[in-house]
A and B are shown apart, each in its own frame.
Chain A
Amino acid sequence: MRKSHPVRRVVLATAATVSGVVLLLALKPASGPAGASAAGAAPQATAAGQESPQGGAQGAAPAGSGTVTGDAVRTQYGAVQVRLTVSGGKITKAEAVQAPKGGLSDQKTQLAVPRLNQEAVAAGTADIDAVSGATYTSEGYRKSLQSALDKIKPASSGTSGAAGSAQARTVTGKAAQTPYGPVRVRITVAGGRITKAEAVQAPKGGLSDQKTQLAVPRLNQEAVAAGTADIDAVSGATYTSEGYRKSLQSALDQAGG
């Protein structure tokens, strides 16, 4: 029954909330331009380092190896630009020389770009999964990656054919969907034989981590041993095994063709 003071309460609540939020924001270390780029610093630094040997050869890709920089793609939060290092017609390295910065974007970039880089190297195409929570960045990355790939295509289509069967080369199969996530196999072929098999993508998260850990090394061994996609499924990881088999088959198809 104490007297209520609605106006006083409103004023107090507003003042407390606003000052609380302002205080929190003020206490957070502000990162200047130097700090802000810290998130994207790693790719940027390496990019600078490699700038000189590459010179101005931005557009015309050197046949077989070198670096190619894709177009800068504007997203809602800033530009994304991808640079690829290509060697032997294969992407050996992908990095973002530009990515959204500032506020929320710093974290999203930090979260998304390394994963996208990995995916790009693994896939060798622009057909990569978006990182959830960073949809825009992923989309921009994909576009820039595609434009970079377009630049190396003319050169690399020749090289990959001329690679010769004696030379070791790597082929990545298509991603095979399983209920727990895609599986994608990369094989190294030399002299018409599989010398190495690895899964560049496999189900992740929760129980899947364990299954993947359990099954993938065995499947890799089997693939090398068999030299075909006719390998036994690992019990307890049937779906992963099945996906592995399919992706392996598609890699073999590509290598054999």
Chain B
Amino acid sequence: MTTTLAGGRAARRQTMRRIRPRRSPAVPLLLAVWAGAAAVLWLWWHDTPSIADDTGRILGAGRITGLLAGYLMALVVLQMARVPALERRVGSDRVARWHAMSGRYTLCLVVAHVFLVMWGYARQAGRSLGDIVQQTADSVDQLPDMGKAAVGTGLFVVIGLTSAGPVRRRLPYDTWYHVHLLTYAAVFLTFWHQITTGNDFAVEPAAKTFWYGLYGAVTALVLWYRILTPVRLNLRHRMYVEAVIEETPGIVSVLIGGRKLHRMGAEAGQFFRWRFLAPGMRFSSHPYSLSAAPRPGMLRITVKAIGDHSARLRELAPGTKVWAEGPYGALTAQRRSRGKVLLVAGGVGITPMRALFETLPGAAGDITLLYRANTTQDLALWDELAAIAEERGARLMYAVNSPEGERPDISAENLRRKIPDVDRHDVFMCGPPGFAQSVYEALREAGVPARRIHHESFEM
């Protein structure tokens, strides 16, 4: 097994040809975002000839924050439009973190904008800062589209509050999600006052066109990728539950049948957002990774019964209709460079790793899977993994707690001992946050460059 054709140069060249690394478009996208922000600031600069006094300064600051908030708001929505370039190339997890970060920032800008502008108006009307509430009420009452904007801003604040860490942790996912959907209404409501009362849009018709273009494009993308694309996907593939299999205590696999499933364009390592049309599950969709490469008539997900939703999966009746959106996720073969690969899985994080273990191009000995679980009984899919390892000449290792319950030591030293050239591997990693963090640190210490550690984490 060790000495065979596998080491041959020809074979190696052949596998190398199948590896096509693609760069994440994150950097150009971020540059475009910054350029847009600069353009928005320039707009203000261009339309403001001079500033007379402190009132002018306050209003100037209010307008800058307002313009930036309006610009970022469109991008915050865009980040959740499920645009393939973002979901599959940048990575759903990273985009979700951008979304959370820019969402918080935008909300702060909105609040600052409201406060500054109302303060400025109060000063212009000869009122003091204490009259700002009265001033706000007057402006909402008298200026065009400000009623709508006030309602929209209120919604933003509610959405922001439900997304703040401590509140979000206490809220059921579905509640949070449905409140979050109100963002669309809030964006719509606040849009109009930007056009009708925004000084820059009154003075500069080109700016108005740009603004309509920005919001129009985002609306089109949302409609296309969040509504039309999933509808088409599900009409075409008509998925249903074929069987539910208990892999280990608490971990189940759901086999999903449908038409031409290999034509969905899903790759190993990706996930779909699944919605099972069974009573009580219809209204929430959850992301689960494929635990095997897609086959023409079948997809498989493997899920650990931790949450409310995942526990119910066990009771799914065969034949239940399934609504899926995807494929999403960038933790695929395109991330790797042309070296050996180490896959690290923690617990149910094995699912995407299992799919990659089967499909990543590589000669014998190129692919190693390290599987961490509490006990050997918890090593879900182990038989399959062993079979794949056998067939491909890949290495399969596991780390479980000792009989006394002691945790295995995944340190830089141990990694180097087991895999001497670990620093020349690409590492794909999936597991609980604490585990992923400690492995990441061990890998870095063992000399693996950060850019070659690929992982997906949905922690905000």
Contact = CB atoms under 8 A, between A and B. Distances in A.
Contacts of A35: 50, 52
A132 B44 CA distance: 19
Interface string A1-13: 1100000010001
Contacts of A30: 50-53
Contacts of B55: 102-103
B263 interface: no
Contacts of A9: 101
A105 B50 contact: no
Interface stretch (A21-29, A46-54, A208-216, A241-249): A21-29
A102 B53 contact: yes
B59 A103 contact: yes
A104 interface: yes
Interface string B51-91: 11101111111011100000000000000000000000000
Contacts of B64: 21, 24-25
B50 A1 contact: no
A106 interface: yes
A100 interface: yes
B53 A1 contact: no
Interface string A57-68: 000000000000
B331 interface: no
A135 B144 CA distance: 9
B455 interface: yes
Given A35-B50, A103-B51, A104-B120, A1 B60 contact: no
B229 interface: no
Contact of B47 (A22, A77, A102, A107): A107
Instruction: Give the interface residue-count category, chain A.
Output: 20 to 34
A111 interface: yes
B52 A103 contact: yes
B151 interface: no
A103 B60 contact: yes
A78 interface: yes
B50 A77 contact: no
Given A76-B121, A76-B125, A108 B199 contact: yes
B138 interface: yes
A14 to B, nearest CB: 8
A78 B124 contact: yes
Nearest to A33: B52
A45 interface: no
B49 A133 contact: no
Interface in B401-460: 429, 436-437, 440, 450, 453, 455, 457
Contacts of B41: 24
Contacts of A136: 142
Given A1-B453, A29-B50, A104 B203 contact: no
A104 B51 CA distance: 9
A106 B455 contact: no
A101 interface: yes
B220 interface: no
A36 interface: yes
A28 B51 contact: yes
B227 interface: no
A106 B199 contact: no
A36 B202 CA distance: 21
B197 interface: yes
A236 to B, nearest CB: 25
Contacts of A125: none
B202 A132 contact: yes
Contacts of B197: 133
Interface in B78-112: 101, 105, 108-109
A174 B341 CA distance: 82
B439 to A, nearest CB: 9
A72 B41 CA distance: 36
Given A104-B120, A111-B203, A77 B51 contact: no
A36 B56 CA distance: 11
Nearest to A27: B45
A104 B59 contact: yes
Contacts of B429: 1
B125 A28 contact: no
- Most chain A beta carbons < 10 A, residue from B50, B109, B143: B50
B196 interface: yes
Given A103-B52, A103-B53, A132-B202, A24 B196 contact: no
Interface in B198-240: 199, 202-203
A13 B51 contact: no
Interface in A94-114: 100-108, 111
B48 interface: yes
A106 B49 contact: yes
Contacts of A103: 51-53, 55-60, 120, 124
B256 to A, nearest CB: 31
Contact of A24 (B45, B56, B455): B45
Interface in B271-312: none
A62 B71 CA distance: 55
- Most chain B beta carbons < 10 A, residue from A28, A78, A101: A28
A30 B455 CA distance: 51
A117 to B, nearest CB: 18
A31 interface: yes
A31 B51 contact: yes
A25 B199 contact: no
B56 to A, nearest CB: 3
A104 B116 CA distance: 13
Nearest to A36: B52
Nearest to B60: A25
Nearest to B127: A76
Given A21-B61, A28-B51, A135-B143, A102 B56 contact: yes
Those 10 A-B pairs whose CB atoms lie nearest each other, nearest first: A103-B56, A133-B202, A31-B50, A1-B440, A36-B52, A103-B59, A102-B52, A76-B125, A77-B124, A28-B51
Given A104-B59, A133-B197, A136-B142, 14 more contacts: A1-B457, A9-B101, A21-B61, A24-B45, A29-B51, A30-B50, A36-B50, A76-B138, A77-B121, A78-B124, A102-B53, A106-B56, A107-B47, A133-B196
6 contacts: A1-B436, A103-B51, A103-B124, A104-B59, A107-B199, A111-B202
